[in-house]
Amino acid sequence: MTELISEELPTTRPNPFDPPTELTGIRDKARISRLEFADGHLGWLVTGHHQVREILGSPKFTNDPGSHHLPDKRRQVDDSDTKRKVEPGMFLSQDPPDHTRLRKMLQGQFTVRRMNQLSEWIGTIVDDQLKHLRTFDGHADLVKEFALPVPSLVICALLGVDYDEKHRFQEDTAKMLSLDTPVKEAMAAFERIQEFMRELIARKKASPGGDDMISDLLATGEPTDEEASNMAMLLLLAGHETTANMLGIGTFTLLQHPDQLKILRDEPEVIDNAVEELMRYLSIIHFGPLRTATEDVEIDGHLIKAGDTVMMHIPVANRDPEKFPGNPEELDLRRPATGHVAFGHGIQQLARIEMRIAFAKLFQEFPDLRLDVAPEEVPLRTNMGIYGVHSLPVAWSA
Ligand code: HEM
């Protein structure tokens, strides 16, 4: 059976951790449904796990933002000056062969040496931020003092960006990701970060030889300057907001599930799987990804026609009982959670390492960490493309 969703896509969550109940109900009736997009386009909503995997891996869909219809009116562009276009080097929105070429270029930079070096840096950055947290005398906002700075410092170290210049990207990133920001303002924020990245590339070219990924990438002579600055921008944005939100809402989740937190404390070896399970359970990318068919394609008996836009719903797909049998609605740190699609089809090893180190050390160093407000008072990021908590007031015995 195929459901037709012509009302606005449900976004109200029954509680901070579960996706909208209506969407879970839709998945249980039909893993592929028709969805009316904000401009009236009749496309598709995909809520089944294996269907999401199939579409993300299929060459018959494009990721070109100019081809997509949008599900949310607030992101609609009706003026040709602001038409969404692909930026060279923003390979998240590119198709092969450019996507393959740029991704390969970048993968060459994720060497074993650099990943080992990074694990060491991450340990030091986390320790320093935990020391900083201690200075707050028993009460602090965990997002501001820990969850946001840790991944921001890590990505800055990786890319060779001076963290003291965080004012040039943190606020603008938040502006870009807020669904309430008018499109033109979001684009202006994008352009400001782009300018910062262009300056960074120019500085690195003027004094080559830095021990960071962008310097090494430039030394290969492979990317154009425009590609290099957009790749740096993609990594800077993708590398700090997502992980920051996982750390924020992941901590909230563990504090609200004391039985699971006890498992994490008593069985430290569970940490790798715990991170996968938190990723699966929380699935913080709550809109999209989107793809548009470039030719007719049949998925699960449904004919998706060339030009049709498909919106995948990762939080609901990651709780598909066909993939995670038993109790997919429950958080279970011991469940084998690999195979989730919370990273789309990408492999974000860096995010995994950061979360493993950050969660493990946070709960070791602050064994009696607790919420400092009632759970209903924690402000949720329902208005942002990336879900999480705006702040997380916590307390501990100083
Ligand atoms: C918890 C953290 C993270 C989550 C939930 C997450 C989620 C995602 C998702 C869902 C996609 C696929 C989007 C699509 O196909 O349209 C993606 C792609 C991507 N992410 Fe992340 N990500 C995280 C951390 C990171 C980090 C730390 C980095 C950077 C170092 C990063 C860099 C990228 C890049 C470069 C892509 C594009 C991959 C490609 O197109 O081949 N992400 N991420």
Mean pLDDT for the chain overall: 91
| Domain 4-395 class in CATH | mainly alpha
- Let me know if 79 is exposed, middle or buried by CB neighbors in 10 A (0-12, 13-18, 19+): exposed
- Residue nearest atom 36 in ligand 1 by C-alpha distance: 92
Long-range contacts of 184-187 (CB under 8 A, 24+ apart): 184/82, 187/82
CA of 372 from ligand 1 middle (Å) equals: 31
Please tell me the predicted confidence (pLDDT) of residue 82.
Answer: 42
Ligand 1 binding pocket, CB closer than 6 Å: 63, 91-92, 103, 234-235, 238-239, 242-243, 246, 284-285, 289, 342-346, 348, 350-351
| Calpha distance 373→16 (Å, rounded) | 15
| Calpha distance 48→335 (Å, rounded) | 19
Q: Is 76's pLDDT higher than 90?
A: no
* Closest atom of ligand 1 to CA, residue 386: 5
Mean pLDDT for 70-96 is 69
CA of 206 from ligand 1 middle (Å) equals: 30
| Residue 346 · residue 355 · CB < 8 Å | no
| Calpha distance 283→279 (Å, rounded) | 5
More confident residue, 124 or 5: 124
Mean pLDDT for 115-136 is 93
* Closest atom of ligand 1 to CA, residue 351: 27
* Closest atom of ligand 1 to CA, residue 341: 10
Mean pLDDT for 350-356 is 94
Please tell me the predicted confidence (pLDDT) of residue 77.
Answer: 53
Please tell me the predicted confidence (pLDDT) of residue 29.
Answer: 93
Per DSSP, what are the bridge partners of residue 291? 310
| Calpha distance 219→196 (Å, rounded) | 20
| Residue 47 · residue 27 · CB < 8 Å | yes
- Residue nearest atom 15 in ligand 1 by C-alpha distance: 344
- Residue nearest atom 14 in ligand 1 by C-alpha distance: 289
CA distances to 67, 116, 125, 295 from 350, rounded to whole Å, are 30, 11, 14, 35
pLDDT single digits (tens) 204-235:
999 998 989 999 999 999 999 999 999 999 99
CA of 237 from ligand 1 middle (Å) equals: 10
Per DSSP, what are the bridge partners of residue 61? 293
Of 180, 179, 200, 176, which Cα lies nearest the Cα of 189?
A: 176
CA distances to 80, 139, 269 from 394, rounded to whole Å, are 46, 6, 25
Other beta carbons within 10 angstroms of residue 289's beta carbon come to 20
To the nearest 10 degrees (0 to 180), the angle between helices 183-206 and 170-177 is 150
User: For the chain, which residues make up each domain, given as ranges?
Assistant: 4-395
CA of 343 from ligand 1 middle (Å) equals: 6
Mean pLDDT for 137-143 is 97
Please tell me the predicted confidence (pLDDT) of residue 110.
Answer: 80
* Closest atom of ligand 1 to CA, residue 91: 40
